Every structure is written in structure tokens, then in C-alpha cells.
Structure 1
Amino acid sequence: MVWDLATPFVIDLQVGEEDIDGLGHANNAVYVTWLERCAWRHSQQLGLDLTEYRRLDRAMAVVRHEIDYLASAYQDDQLQLATWIVDWDQRLKMTRRFQLKRPSDGMTLLRAQTTFVCIELSSGKPKRMPSEFIDGYAAGLHSTVS
């Protein structure tokens, strides 16, 4: 599979009947759940799961989604969703890019970017990333980011 950027973290998806809306294709809101799933799985692979978030009293919370819906997905389509951490300040903010492809025809169905802010779980307020986040997310940082 050819991706927009090198070395993505990739998950496989299948469009289910429950994902289809009245227009006969995957509903736009379903794509957002897929973005969240992909980001979580990548975080878990980097050693930053919900247990660790709770232990540290920190989490990365979405503050902005930018989504370009380029083509439709249909029931039973097999898809692959890739993510990359493309920017972060090692204090509060982190940005991920996403690309959703249908391997059967190589078509890109979606490109997205999500901005996250580190928050303190107990207060919900923005708080500096702990060293565990800096170390963990550094391992998932796209190589062209300095």
C-alpha cells in the first residue's frame, strides 16, 4: 500500500451494515469513530493506554478535527486507516494525520488531521505532558518532524 507518508501505524476496518446511512454509504460520523479507534490503538502500541492515562492523571483530548471526505465507503468494504504523529510541542499539543484507503482499488477515501491537547483527568484542564507521554509519543513521531 502506498501512503502519503512513510511508516504509518495502520489498522484494518470493515464497513458493517450498522455503518451505512440512508444514502447507502458509510455515515460521516462513523469515520470519526474510526479515527478515534486508530489513534487509541496507536497510543496503546506506544505503551500509553487508558490504565496509564489514569495512573498519570493525564490524557490527550481532541480539540479539533479537520476531515476531507474524498470518496464513499460501502457495506463490506475492507479498508485500512493509517495515522502518523506529525507535530507536537512536547508540552500541551500534538497533531495526528490520518489517511483512509480501500486496498481493493487503492483509492484514498479520507484524509484528516486531529489536534489533541494534554489534560489533567481529575480537573479536565490543560496540563503539561508528563515525561511518560514525551517518551512514549516520541517513539510514534513521524521521522520528518524535528
Structure 2
Amino acid sequence: MTQETPEIVWDFPSPFIYETRVEKQHIDDFQHTNNVVYLTWMAKTAWEHSKALGLDFAAYAKINRGMVVRRHELEYLAASREGERVLIGTWITGNDGRLRLRRRFQMVNGDTGETLLRGLSDFVCINIATGRATRMPPEFVSTYALTANVEGDN
């Protein structure tokens, strides 16, 4: 008997999706995935999307610019447990073309289709050598184009 894959209802169309599985080391004393793990998965998903777009750390280093997190917001909606498949969708929903970028995230239990978390991360462009905020290079403006329109994010 095979298990049917549930239909996933994403908050916005066409997410970039990173898939992972809850492992024993992710579980806390409450026997569900620890909150910090979700944040780690958000960061991993953002980085995997950036690399898929052609902006890995080598590309960042070449132009001495990078995007770093300024703020995270996470809303935990349901627990996940060891062995469960988790799909993390991300969208670029804000890019002012100067300094700031916003990503939204949705984590879904791949076995049930239930949304586990909604979150967002705000990023700032920096000069890698100095660590100071600086204007985005043209590569960031074009490559980090919006993938979903969310009122108030841009």
C-alpha cells in the first residue's frame, strides 16, 4: 500500500522549495522539532534559493557584497516530529533595489499537507570587507527580483 502525497496549498504561487526530514537531533524535550531548527531551515532554504539563482558565496566575494539578515519573524502553527518530511517554500516579496530585501517562508508537513510555520526574513546588503550597509549592486537588484507580490513588503 502506498501513501498518497497530499496536495500542498502554498500561500503564494511557484515557491522555491527545499525539502528536509525531521531527524532525532532536531527533537526537543517536548518530543517535537525545536524552534531553533525551524530558523535554521529558513536560513538554509534562503541560501539554497540564492545559490539556485546563481549567487553563491563565491559570487558574493567576487563583488564584495552580500545579503545578511537584519530581522526574522516566525509564527509557529503546528509541531513536526521525528521522521516527518518538511517542505520549506520561499518567495522574494520585497526588494527596494537599494539596500533591503524580504523573503517569506512557509513550512509544510510533506506527509499531511499541514502548514507548520509562516515566517519572514529581512536582509540588508553589506560590503563584505567592512561589514557596513551599502547599496545593492545591479546583480542583486535583477537576480533577487520579486517572486511574489505581498502588499507592504516592497
Residue among 89, 100, 110 paired with 1:93: 100
Structure 2 partner of 1:64: 71
Q: TM-score, normalised by structure 1?
A: 0.95
Structure 2: runs of 5+ lacking an equivalent: 1-7
Instruction: State the shift of 1:142 in Å.
Output: 1.8
Instruction: State the shift of 1:144 in Å.
Output: 3.1
Residue among 7, 16, 32 paired with 2:14: 7
- Work out the percentage of aligned pairs sharing the same amino acid: 43
What amino acid does structure 2 have at the position aligned with 1:90?
Answer: G
What secondary structure, in the 3-state scheme, does the structure 2 residue paired with 1:73 have? coil
Matches within 5 A, 1:101-140: 101-138=108-145
Instruction: State the shift of 1:103 in Å.
Output: 2.2
Q: TM-score, normalised by structure 2?
A: 0.90
Contact 2:12-2:148 within 8 A present in 1 as well: no
In structure 1, C-alpha distance between the alignment counterparts of 2:49 and 2:85, rounded to whole Å: 20
What secondary structure, in the 3-state scheme, does the structure 2 residue paired with 1:87 have? strand
Instruction: State the shift of 1:143 in Å.
Output: 4.5
Larger Rg: 2
In structure 1, C-alpha distance between the alignment counterparts of 2:48 and 2:139, rounded to whole Å: 17
What amino acid does structure 2 have at the position aligned with 1:24?
Answer: Q
What root-mean-square deviation, in Å, do the aligned CA atoms of Structure 1 and Structure 2 show? 1.2
Contact 2:92-2:102 within 8 A present in 1 as well: yes
Query: Against the structure 1 CA distance between its residues 143 and 25, is the aligned structure 2 distance closer, same or farther, given a 3 Å change threshold?
Result: closer
